Structure formats: C-alpha cells, structure tokens
Chain A
Amino acid sequence: MNSILFFKKYFDVFKAIIVLTVVCLVISAALAVTNNITKDKIAEMERASATAAMEALIPNGEYTKTDLSNIKEIENADIYTVSKGDTTVGYIVTTAAKGYGGDVKVMTAVSSDKKVIGVNILSAADETPGLGQNATKPDFYNQFKNKTSGVTVVKNGAENNEINAVTGATITSRAVTNAVNEALGQLEVYLNSITPVTPEIEFDMEVQYEE
C-alpha cells in the first residue's frame, strides 16, 4: 500500500526521468550511427584535400609523412618527404601561426637546398573577409617563392628576403610569414636529426686550442 502511494506521488518524477533518459539514449545512438557512416568519408575528404594541396605545390611526387615522434623539438608541425622515383625532390611542411582571428594554417614546400618552392594557405577562415583573407590569393603567397629562412614582412617595396604585406592586413601577413619561417626552422631541425652534424667543427676548435 505504502509503495503504491509512494509510486503515485513520484510518478511524475519517474516519468520525467525515464523520458529524458530515453530521449538522451536514442539521440546518442542516432549520433553514433551517423558518425559511423560519415567518419570514413570525412577522413577521406581531409586526405583528398591534403593531397590536392600538396599536388599543387610539388606535382606528381610521392608524399610520405615522416615520423617525428622521436624529435621533441618539433611541435605542431607535420613534415612530408616528396620523392620522385628514388630521389628526394623536396619537403612539404604544414605549420600554423596565430593570425588576427585565430590560427592560420600554412603548407610550405621546400626544396632540398632549403629554398621555398611554394606556399599554400590551408585555412584562414578566421581572418577578416576582404582584408586578411586576401592572403589566400596567389598575389600574396607567390612572393614566398625562392625565399630562405628568416623572411620578413614590409608594408611595400620588398627586396631580398622580404615580402610585401597584404594591404590592411599586417597581422595576417605576419602570421603567414611566421608559419613559413617556422616551417623552414622545423625542417632544419628534422634534417639535422637524420644526418648528424659532421664532427669537422669540433676538429677546428681543437686546432685553435693548439695555437
């Protein structure tokens, strides 16, 4: 008898809890199903767009992602080795730098002699439309061709290792440049790690001591 009263009193509460739980479970299940259907497609789209971006920089190569887990100095960067047949023709590095509204993701193609082959802006969606987003136009990013480590930004009249900023978007221009410099720096670290520095320098120092 007591339990019936108890049940009557709390029936509304039980009903609310049960309905809410069932709704949550059904929705979660629906999400899990959709996720299962779409996740391969999403991964495939991401891979396809990454390959297309790399194709645009160094066409017809074979792109191998390098394992950077042993090199702790390299953070937030991916390095791909591009080879044609047996020869390595260059490297592609993806880096990000803080822009005006968020991260600007940049893909930099570098030749074996450490010169920039080309730059591809992967995402600048957080930059201001009409200003910062102009950095995604070839007029801007083609300036990086043949530049070497330590590129700097000027408002106009760029020479040597300088590039002209996008009008009205110095911060975005600087972000892209930082990302490119970062890419060159990280690649240097990676190349040094696979080919240890030859002991010649130490040898020189010994000679100096003897004098």
Chain B
Amino acid sequence: MLSNVIPILLAGLLTENMILSKFLGICPFLGTSKKIDTAFSMSVAVTLVMIIATAVTYPLYAYVLTPLNLQYLQTLLFILVIAAIVQLLEITLKKYIKSLYNALGIYLPLITTNCAVLGITMLNFTKGYNYFESLVNALAAGLGFMLAMVIFAGVRERLDRSDIPEFLKGLPITLIAAALVSLSFLGFAGIGG
C-alpha cells in the first residue's frame, strides 16, 4: 500500500504540481497569493474541498454512472456535486465551527469554479486510481497546491519591494516570477518515477 502512496504524494507535491505543471487553479494562484497567510488559508480550503469532492464523486461515478452506462453525465454531475459540497460546507462551518468559518469562509464560494477541484476528481479516473489512491491523490494535489501558493506568496512579498521596469509592473512580472518558480520545480523531474 505504501509503495502506491509515496509516488502519488511526490507527484502531487512536486512533479505533477497542480498549479506549476498542470496549470489548474491559476485564478486563485494569482488572486490570493499576495500574502502568505491568505495563500495558506485558501489552500487549506481547496485541499478540504478536493478530498471531500473525491470521496463523494468517486463512488458516484464507479457505482452509479458506470453500471448505468451514463458516463457522459460525468462533467454535469461532478460540477453540481462540487457546487453542493461547497455550499453545504460553508453552511455547516458557519453554524458549528465558527472559528474555522472565519478563517476559511470567504474563500469557499470561489472554489466552486476552481478548475483544480473538478480537475482532480476527473484525473482520478484518467489515471485509473482506486478509491484509496484517489483520496491520497486528492490530498497530494491539495498539498501541492499549498506548497506552490505559499512559496509563491513569499516570492510576491519580495516582488512588492523590488524595482521593476514600468511596463512589467503588476501582472506581467508576477507571471514571469511564476515561470521561474515553475522552472525550479522542473528540477524534480524523475523523482518517484
């Protein structure tokens, strides 16, 4: 079992990083990575939703859609399930775990349209993972998301204090910095392969 888990974790964290190599979840990556603590909270919320979404969508696809030969409803069903999960999670946190809601609540509605969440629920099937491996994959992808967000937030906090050519100010320099962070992650190629 462990021999399956480690390659999946390494892939999710480093070589197949959601943001830096699969380009999923770029909007929150650019939008909420200005400060390290915001980046961290956003990634915790994303990881949480990814795991719950995988836990729900996997059995739905494997034991409901596949036996009924309705695989073509995958996209429709998955996105609605994710939207429902996000909404329910928000209401539950607000009612029962107020402190967690205060920390993560404002990020939750943004996650519905986060392609990283829908992406991971679909990738579980294209990669042929079983239920347990899919859950590990969701955790790994979430942690990879967090790693990229936190590292990049650190880079951006320094970027704010740098002298940048006028025409590169703002988004362009942010994207170029992302290119350099992504380049450094290329160095992990082959780990766990």
Binding site for B on A (CB under 8 A): 27-28, 31, 35, 98, 100-103, 170-171
Contacts of A100 in B (CB 8 A): 15, 189, 193
B169 to chain A, nearest CB (A): 31
Q: Is the CB of A31 within 8 A of B127?
A: no
Contacts of A171 in B (CB 8 A): 189-190, 193
Q: Is the CB of B76 within 8 A of A27?
A: yes
Contacts of A27 in B (CB 8 A): 76
Q: B127 is contacted by which of A35, A102, A170 (Cβ under 8 Å)?
A: A102
A101 to chain B, nearest CB (A): 7
**Cα separation A170 to B127 with both chains bound (whole Å):** 21
Q: Is the CB of B72 within 8 A of A31?
A: yes
**Cα separation A100 to B190 with both chains bound (whole Å):** 8
B97 located at the interface, meaning its Cβ lies under 8 Å from any Cβ of chain A in the complex: no
Q: Is the CB of A102 within 8 A of B76?
A: no
Q: A35 is contacted by which of B72, B126, B128 (Cβ under 8 Å)?
A: B72
Contacts of A28 in B (CB 8 A): 73, 76
Q: Is the interface of A mostly helix, strand, loop or mixed?
A: helix
Contacts of B127 in A (CB 8 A): 102-103
Contacts of A31 in B (CB 8 A): 72-73, 76
Count contacts on B: residues with CB < 8 A to the other chain.
11
Contacts of B190 in A (CB 8 A): 170-171
A77 to chain B, nearest CB (A): 14
Contacts of A98 in B (CB 8 A): 193
Q: Which residue of B lies closest to A31 (CB)?
A: B72
Contacts of B72 in A (CB 8 A): 31, 35
**Cα separation A101 to B127 with both chains bound (whole Å):** 10
Contacts of B73 in A (CB 8 A): 28, 31
**Cα separation A4 to B168 with both chains bound (whole Å):** 63
Contacts of A103 in B (CB 8 A): 127-128
A-B contact pairs, 6 of them (CB 8 A): A28-B76, A31-B72, A31-B73, A100-B189, A102-B126, A102-B127
**Cα separation A27 to B73 with both chains bound (whole Å):** 10
Interface string of B120-139 (1 = CB under 8 A from A): 00000011100000000000
A143 to chain B, nearest CB (A): 21
Q: What 11 new A-B contacts, CB under 8 Å, besides A101-B16, A170-B190, A171-B190?
A: A27-B76, A28-B73, A28-B76, A31-B72, A31-B76, A35-B72, A98-B193, A100-B15, A100-B193, A171-B189, A171-B193
Closest 9 CB pairs of A and B: A171-B193, A35-B72, A31-B72, A171-B190, A102-B127, A31-B73, A27-B76, A28-B73, A100-B193
Q: Which residue of B lies closest to A126 (CB)?
A: B126
Q: Which residue of A lies closest to B190 (CB)?
A: A171
Q: Which residue of B lies closest to A100 (CB)?
A: B193
Within 8 A of A (CB), among B176-193: 189-190, 193
**Cα separation A59 to B127 with both chains bound (whole Å):** 32
Contacts of B15 in A (CB 8 A): 100
**Cα separation A103 to B72 with both chains bound (whole Å):** 22
Interface string of B71-100 (1 = CB under 8 A from A): 011001000000000000000000000000
Q: Which residue of A lies closest to B186 (CB)?
A: A128
Q: Which residue of B lies closest to A172 (CB)?
A: B193
B9 to chain A, nearest CB (A): 15
Interface string of B125-163 (1 = CB under 8 A from A): 011100000000000000000000000000000000000
Contacts of B76 in A (CB 8 A): 27-28, 31
